[in-house]
Amino acid sequence: MGIIKCIGILTSGGDAPGMNAAIRAVTRAAIYNGLRVKGIYRGYKGLVTNEIVEFKSQNVSNIIQLGGTILKTARCKEFTTPEGRKLAYENMKAQEIDALVVIGGDGSLTGARIFAQEFDVPCIGLPGTIDNDLFGTDTTIGYDTALNTILDAVDKIRDTATSHERLFFVEVMGRDAGFLALNGAIAAGAEAAIIPEFSTEVDQLEEFIKNGFRKSKNSSIVLVAESELTGGAMHYAERVKNEYPGYDVRVTILGHLQRGGSPTAHDRILASRLGCAAVDAIMEDQRNVMIGVENNEIVYVPFSKAIKNDKPINRDLVNVLRELSI
């Protein structure tokens, strides 16, 4: 597409705290390097419907502390069709956008990869998802904030669990990844985490009961990752009621609470680093890569790897939780 003079930014998929910090970083790093910037509203839908606005430095003033995304996000059926993507490309050309920065999860990066292949558009991805499930980066934008939100909620639930001597199942997000559940359980001092990664290996409820979790405690909290593989917190609560009727069981589903809120310092710094690195990558003629962080160093991860490879859970953390929950 020749020399890149203008970058388009969009946020797609589920919102994540820190997306605004990333928008700010990409915008200002691009302007600093002499590039024009255009904000694309409502994700890929905005590309199709031409909801595109020129961004100056002041457009991203005072947003680093905000949760959600000022660019909004939306699902777009049209973009899943060749005709919709062609229209999106034509709007891009009409707006003189030469490259795209896409902030989102694996579905968003999948869209960017297809779009880049069909129209030879340089696309750079930033990992924006609370699930932390993208391969090739140690952490994703929004994950740390969501983890702290879970921690705050579970600390409060612990007060009630202890007062009433109850077993609480707390369902957290993460889709088919157990990072929030496992690390949330360790941080909150929970007794166990039920995660999709182990759903085919062991009966996680039976293992939890067998470990004698009530020997030294009058209350217990178990974090459950929302997933078809685990069945969610309600599934396990029903099992306990049927199989272990002596326990007083309650369920709390944290839901979209985990997506909101002001991003932590960690997420603001991560988003700022990744946003600047995205502009660097574009100026280096990189394309079709996700910007990640490994061992505190910026890395470029091909879309194919970031999307297709499963990010492994650290099994050492499972042992940490098991040892500390006695």
Q: Catalytic residues, which ones?
A: 131
Q: How far is CA 302 from CA 11, 24, 135, in A?
A: 19, 24, 10
Cα-Cα end-to-end distance for the chain:
60
Amino acid at 319: N
Residue 225 near residue 133 (C-beta atoms within 8 A): no
Give how far the C-alpha of residue 61 lies from the chain's centroid of Cα atoms, to the nearest Å: 24
Residue 52 near residue 301 (C-beta atoms within 8 A): no
Q: Which two structure tokens, joined as six digits, stand for 289?
A: 């890569």
Q: How far apart are CA 279 and CA 156, in angstroms?
A: 41
Kindly give the interhelix angle for 19-32 and 265-283, rounded to the nearest 10 degrees: 40
Give how far the C-alpha of residue 222 lies from the chain's centroid of Cα atoms, to the nearest Å: 22
Instruction: Give the 3-state secondary structure of residue 82.
Output: helix
Instruction: Give the 3-state secondary structure of residue 206.
Output: helix
Nearest to 14 by CA among 232, 226, 279: 226
Among all chains, which residue has been given the structure tokens 């166990």? 192
